[in-house]
Structure 1
Amino acid sequence: MTENKLLTAAEPKRTYQDSIFRMLFSEKENAIELFNALEGTDYGPDTEVRFLTLDDVIYHGIKNDLSYEIAVAYLVFGEQQSTISANIPLRMLRYLANNIAILLDNRTFFRQGQVKIPTPQFFVIYTGSEPWDVDELRLSSSFMGEPKENSVELVVKVIKVVYNEGEEEEAEKNPVLQKSTKLREYGMFVRYVKEGLSAGKDRKEAVGAAVERCLKENILVNFLRAHSAEVEKMAWRSITMEEFIEIRAEEAAEIAAEKATKETTERVTREVTEEVTKEVTKEVTKEVTKEVTKKTLEQTTLSNIQSLIKNLHLDLERVMDCLDIPQTEKPKYRNLINTINN
């Protein structure tokens, strides 16, 4: 095994790119509690845990939130997700393959005797605001053809840690949250950050206020006392890529609306003076508004696509998926990007 490719239990590597979720559950006690809650086990504090979270410096952008081996028998893969994604099983498959490559020497694969590996377990912690009515995600749902007996399957449990307004009672009934104090408190921390953002605070202020409130309410007290400064420093980068895109999309919509309103007003004013009747003016105004709004949104979306490709090094198709661009619109943006690049 190559030690520098892993985050070991003895020396967890924590950078500002790490998420607060990763940081919290990269503590042995919390990792054991989380697994017990997820799988209904009762492992004690002395249970052997080895963290195997992939480091993107070594793996060129392949970085999962959390993976660890527990009790030598299980290999746990966890992701925190703030937006809905049907592709999590595909990502998990990649994480599993890379971890197996780390755990086993190349020569092991060619032995005659059967090689034993820890049983993989997959879960995603969903903290988003949009309803996601699924309990599991299956790799086979991505297959183009009907899977046969000699195919492969990978199932990811979806655990909803959502404390949106009006959903508190339902969240408290979640059996996983009942068994994992740390996961429940993490959900409350996320909720307080969201409330701060909704109240108009910037990212740093919202996280700072959430930390203060959690300390007052005895939520994640030991963790935040030990790491509050680090948590606030990583505030921006701890937000997932999907959440960042969601924020940019909201901003783009606001800018587009303001720009469309201004341009529409100016253009309509000019055209009203040229029209003979009120009826014609009304029709022209409608068409102008539609056209200006369409062009403005198109330009703003194109700008966001270019920005995300450049700053986050994502491919065009993933950016368009993250921005929820309809399938019917994708060819247009492919052509626009190709024209710009050529």
Structure 2
Amino acid sequence: MGQTKNNGAAENFSANRNYKSTVFAMLFGDRERLLRLYNAISGKNYQDPEALEINTLENAIYMGMKNDLSFLIDDKLSLYEHQSTVNPNMPLRFLFYISDLYSCMTTEENFYGRKALSIPIPCFVIFYNGAEPQPDRKILRLSDLYTVRMKETQLELTAVLLNINRNHNRELMEACRDLKDYAEYVDRVRKYARELPLSEAVERAITECIRKGILKEFLEKNRAEVKKMSIYEYDQEKHIRMERQDAWEEGAEQQLIKIIKNMTKKGRNVSQIAEELGEDETRIRELAKKSTE
């Protein structure tokens, strides 16, 4: 493949050493681990970590969004994202990321010349380990976000979502011990968080994993930072779940108000409505009042 120049964008590409948004990004920000993960995903068997060029976007932020991991190897540009909540907008986010990466790679190229530019083929992967059930593998498409659906579109982007929770994608987990260990660690944090304060749950999970040889070297070396990140990640995941639950409850309440309004129009009183809907009369009375506001 013809080489694109990216000298002018060197400061925009880095392994992002100053900030890691998640334990996942920190773990696989290491070249050797990232290469093992790539081999497991692609079925390749690369041995030299130096063949892998990490080019994670460090300065590009879109609406608070940040690229987790991107790297170049064998003329393929892979973008990896970790998600603990389901996000159907990931194809659009990937479009922003890949556009910026291509822009950096071709900053010194002549776009108006007769020679066709060469760019690496992209690959988009989402590593999902949220609490909401998801299949082992799912395809997300940019075209699913279009306001008008057509059989053919002139711009498409597909991303693969892989469920990396414990007991999912077992073949992939066996091919990448780091990923399997990461899933084990996350599972322990969640399990202990159900019965202990979060800080204690994370500490117990870290101690137990080190004792059992799960991410032992990584956790020993980065114990304090991993603990801090894990607490933040779990709190953030819980906050998002609560926001979604609140939104669902708000929507459910609006639907109930609509039903009460219709039943009232048909001549039913509060007691009858409460009995038919299996709700408390006081709640029905409050909602009935809202329906007239």
The aligned residue for residue 5 of structure 1 is 12
Per-residue CA shift, 1:87-112, capped at 9, x if unaligned? 21111111111111122115433332
Per-residue CA shift, 1:154-196, capped at 9, x if unaligned? 1211211122xxxx3xx3x622112111111111111111112
Change (3 A) 1:69 1:118: same
CA distance in 2, matches of 1:108, 1:62: 30
Deviation of residue 57 (structure 1)?
6.9
CA distance in 2, matches of 1:32, 1:182: 11
The aligned residue for residue 38 of structure 1 is 41
CA distance in 1, matches of 2:51, 2:209: 30
TM-score, normalised to structure 2, is: 0.76
Aligned residues of 1:54 and 1:62 also touching (Cα < 8 A): no
The aligned residue for residue 123 of structure 1 is 125
Runs of 5+ in structure 1 lacking a partner?
A: 257-278, 299-342
CA distance in 2, matches of 1:192, 1:77: 27
Deviation of residue 136 (structure 1)?
1.5
CA distance in 2, matches of 1:190, 1:120: 29
Matching of residue 156 in structure 1 with residue 159 in structure 2: yes
Change (3 A) 1:131 1:235: closer
Deviation of residue 208 (structure 1)?
1.5
The secondary structure found in structure 1 opposite 2:110 is helix
Match of 1:27 among 30, 40, 44: 30
Per-residue CA shift, 1:231-271, capped at 9, x if unaligned? 11223434585553114566x69xx9xxxxxxxxxxxxxxx
Aligned residues of 2:82 and 2:128 also touching (Cα < 8 A): yes
- Letter matched to residue 80 of structure 1: H
Deviation of residue 84 (structure 1)?
1.7
Matching of residue 215 in structure 1 with residue 183 in structure 2: no
The aligned residue for residue 139 of structure 2 is 136
Matching of residue 96 in structure 1 with residue 98 in structure 2: yes
The aligned residue for residue 183 of structure 1 is 179
The aligned residue for residue 289 of structure 1 is 283
Q: Which has the higher helix share?
A: 1
CA distance in 2, matches of 1:80, 1:226: 22
Match of 2:230 among 211, 228, 235: 235
CA distance in 1, matches of 2:63, 2:156: 26
The aligned residue for residue 170 of structure 2 is 174
TM-score, normalised to structure 1, is: 0.66
- Letter matched to residue 179 of structure 2: L
**Aligned residues between the structures:** 255
Aligned residues of 2:202 and 2:231 also touching (Cα < 8 A): no
Change (3 A) 1:129 1:293: farther
The aligned residue for residue 264 of structure 2 is none
**RMSD value over aligned CA atoms?**
3.0
- Mean alpha-carbon deviation: is it higher for 215-224 or for 100-109? 100-109
- Letter matched to residue 5 of structure 1: N
Aligned residues of 1:122 and 1:156 also touching (Cα < 8 A): yes
CA distance in 1, matches of 2:126, 2:144: 17
- Letter matched to residue 217 of structure 1: K
Aligned residues of 2:31 and 2:49 also touching (Cα < 8 A): no
Per-residue CA shift, 1:50-83, capped at 9, x if unaligned? 2222225766633121111123x11111111112
Per-residue CA shift, 1:119-153, capped at 9, x if unaligned? 1111111112222235221222222231536x122
The aligned residue for residue 61 of structure 1 is 64
